[in-house]
Structure 1
Amino acid sequence: MTATVARLPERTPEMTIADAMARFLRRDAFEATTRAAYAKTLTVLADAVGADTPVAHITTDAVEDLLHTRWGAAAATTFNRHRAAVLSFLGWCTERGWAAHNPARVVEARKVRRRSEDEKRERPIDRGRLDALWALERIPARDKLLWRMAYETWARADELLGLDIADLDLGRREGLVHGKGGDVERVWWATGSARLLPRVLTGRTSGPVFLASRRPTRPMPAADVDPDTGRARLSYRQAERLFAEVGERLDAEGATWTLHRLRHSGIAHAVEDGWNLAQVRAKSRHASLRSLEVYANPSAESIRAMTDALDGEARRGRRPRRSDA
């Protein structure tokens, strides 16, 4: 009887971190800024554990040590953002069978502790950082327009994202938004928004003003889909995440940048510049003057300017001494 030798199946090579990263980041699910932010975090992960290390060999201890060593001293929101990037990547790898479990899943997020005063009044973004924001390159015109309109109109972000092209009067630089309670209210924008609008609309005459970068993957209400491109209305969640990522670049040690801070900044800067509260209340569409107290929170720059303006010695110049007379 002739003995036969069964040939064992060849073992599939284990997926390395470098190869998994390349596959993860090339997905069509990411906006450009999101992809860049994830790439930055995952490059740190690859450098720490080795780019050629199999994904299956990454341990919870390694992930935890990396996060706390690299970002432990950063703000809780920064730590949590990098943790979320690692968690998303390793979860995606686990779904594909490259690892038995997600080692980042049990690494706890840090609790964001904010003083009650900060919760009551979120500080405006200072003018210097806003100038840097407007000057950023390689930012889609859609995002720049949303940020500009939030600052110039003082509208809430969800109101702006709900705008349709039919709601705009480009010549008068005004538009109609659905405010709190569903009331239709008028808002006005300035030159920064006026310059960006034609680039965003690109000849479109109907549909949402702010569109997502790609077609939706699930059925959407007809009113939220552009009839020409088939793309859906930009979601608040996506817009907020993109703005937070830009804020991390421009103000890494500061509070998280939210879209509401642009509205807050526009109102606060108008108060600083001396516009009377009745006018500010009308443009911001607040119900009462008392509700504007939160914005009477001057920035360090305005307090410094006020101190200089009140400096009597600077106004009068150097007094002549007797020997100079």
Structure 2
Amino acid sequence: MKAARNAVTVRAAVDGFLASVDRRHKPATRRSYGRTLEHVASQLGTDRRLRKVTGEEIAEVLRALCVGTAPSTWNQRRAAISSFLAWCARNGYPAPVLPAGAGRQPERREETPIVSRPAIERLLTHGVIPLREKTLWRMLYETTARATEVLALNIEDLELDARRARVPAADGGIEHIYWATGTAQLLPGLIRGRTRGPVFLSERRPGLARRPPSADICPHTGRARLGYDRARVLLDRYTRTEATPGWDLRQLRHSAAAHLAEANVNPQAIMAKGRWRNPRAVMRYVRPRVADLDAVTRRLDMAPRPRA
């Protein structure tokens, strides 16, 4: 048994790990792990014995893969590699260890720019926007859901009459995202003629060399699920001007939260709507008005009222 484990190849180890990444992980996480580890395996040599691979070699591949990227991208790809190496160690494979110089990089949290409600409405009602993009962007705004969650939706997850869809929860359960009239009017046209498979599809069928998993293929059209990078590029293209940069997908979610806060919606309700776990993610949008503070102060007034 030990001899067999010492003889395992990089290819076999990566395949074993990816097969173990089950439904507890979000689809976007599974795809991210797969892309990173497939690249690492190809650079190391898929037929090499894993025991002959050093941690420094893996670190060099990681550095080359992350040239010019943000610290968050480094950390995400490093996390995929670390998870793989930890899985190898738990299963008795001769796993190398990443050197200290390949540790996590500090991330600087930048505030997501808020887009005004009129600007979002102008975009969503513009006549030249294709139905797919119009539906995706409106759903992101009305649900305040994460873009990865919305792009991972299948038609089977939709509950059109209830104006909601099922999404995986962090604890492995099921949560719901809710949309409003605009999305409800657009969705039937987007999925017309389809009863299963991804809600949002790419423009064309994938080639054999880059064929995604069957779960990401529409059984009716053969087209693949729309990816995050493509969706990001399209939003940037339609919103960029000579004077201003294009929007990011996250801005629709965060702008919706800010608009709810401006409408004096309870912060707990905003947290529930966007399914935020950390109150700080919502409180940055809450700006109490002077009138609100005055009303709260009066509730604490215990002094006797003057007699008439």
TM-score (norm 2): 0.55
Q: Secondary structure at the match of 1:120?
A: coil
Q: What is the aligned residue count?
A: 183
Superposed displacement of residue 294, structure 1: 2.7
Q: Does the 8 A contact of 2:238 with 2:246 survive in 1?
A: no
Match of 1:226 among 218, 225, 245: 218
Q: Does the 8 A contact of 2:156 with 2:195 survive in 1?
A: yes
Match of 1:187 among 160, 167, 177: 177
Q: Does the 8 A contact of 1:268 with 1:297 survive in 2?
A: no
Q: Does the 8 A contact of 2:191 with 2:199 survive in 1?
A: yes
Q: 2:37 maps to what in 1? A: none
1:205-239 superposed Cα distances (whole Å, 9 cap, x missing partner): 10000000100112221110000100000010000
Q: 1:123 maps to what in 2? A: 113
Q: Secondary structure at the match of 1:176?
A: strand
Distance 1:212 1:242 in 2: 12
Q: 1:246 maps to what in 2? A: 238
Distance 1:253 1:179 in 2: 40
Distance 1:244 1:182 in 2: 33
- Partner amino acid for 2:278? S
Distance 2:287 2:202 in 1: 35
Distance 1:183 1:257 in 2: 32
Give the root-mean-square deviation of aligned CA atoms: 2.3
Distance 1:136 1:169 in 2: 27
Match of 1:143 among 130, 133, 138: 133
Superposed displacement of residue 181, structure 1: 6.4
- Partner amino acid for 2:128? R
Q: Does the 8 A contact of 2:112 with 2:250 survive in 1?
A: no
Match of 1:176 among 155, 166, 169: 166
Superposed displacement of residue 263, structure 1: 0.2
Greater C-alpha radius of gyration: 1
Q: 2:285 maps to what in 1? A: 295
Q: 1:34 maps to what in 2? A: none
Superposed displacement of residue 287, structure 1: 1.0
Superposed displacement of residue 297, structure 1: 6.4
Q: Does the 8 A contact of 1:121 with 1:295 survive in 2?
A: no
Q: Secondary structure at the match of 1:295?
A: coil
Distance 1:175 1:265 in 2: 21
Distance 1:125 1:169 in 2: 29
**1:240–1:121 distance in 2 versus 1, CA, 3 Å:** same
Distance 2:222 2:287 in 1: 44
- Partner amino acid for 1:222? S
Q: Secondary structure at the match of 2:177?
A: strand
Distance 1:214 1:297 in 2: 45
Q: 1:275 maps to what in 2? A: 265
Distance 1:260 1:138 in 2: 22
- Partner amino acid for 1:241? V
Superposed displacement of residue 296, structure 1: 3.0
Q: 1:155 maps to what in 2? A: 145
Q: Where in structure 1 are there 5+ consecutive unaligned residues?
A: 1-115, 299-305, 308-325
Q: Does the 8 A contact of 1:214 with 1:232 survive in 2?
A: yes
Matched, 1:259 2:249: yes
**1:254–1:183 distance in 2 versus 1, CA, 3 Å:** farther
1:181-214 superposed Cα distances (whole Å, 9 cap, x missing partner): 6553210000010011011001211000000010
Distance 1:130 1:168 in 2: 24
Distance 1:270 1:247 in 2: 23
Distance 1:269 1:170 in 2: 25
**1:245–1:179 distance in 2 versus 1, CA, 3 Å:** farther
More displaced 10-residue stretch of structure 1: 218-227 or 150-159: 218-227
**1:132–1:239 distance in 2 versus 1, CA, 3 Å:** same
**1:182–1:159 distance in 2 versus 1, CA, 3 Å:** farther
Distance 2:250 2:142 in 1: 12
Matched, 1:235 2:227: yes
Superposed displacement of residue 150, structure 1: 0.4
Match runs of 1:1-325 below 5 Å: 119-180=109-170, 183-217=173-207, 218-249=210-241, 252-296=242-286
1:43-89 superposed Cα distances (whole Å, 9 cap, x missing partner): xxxxxxxxxxxxxxxxxxxxxxxxxxxxxxxxxxxxxxxxxxxxxxx
Superposed displacement of residue 276, structure 1: 0.4
Q: Does the 8 A contact of 1:159 with 1:179 survive in 2?
A: no
Q: Does the 8 A contact of 1:207 with 1:225 survive in 2?
A: yes
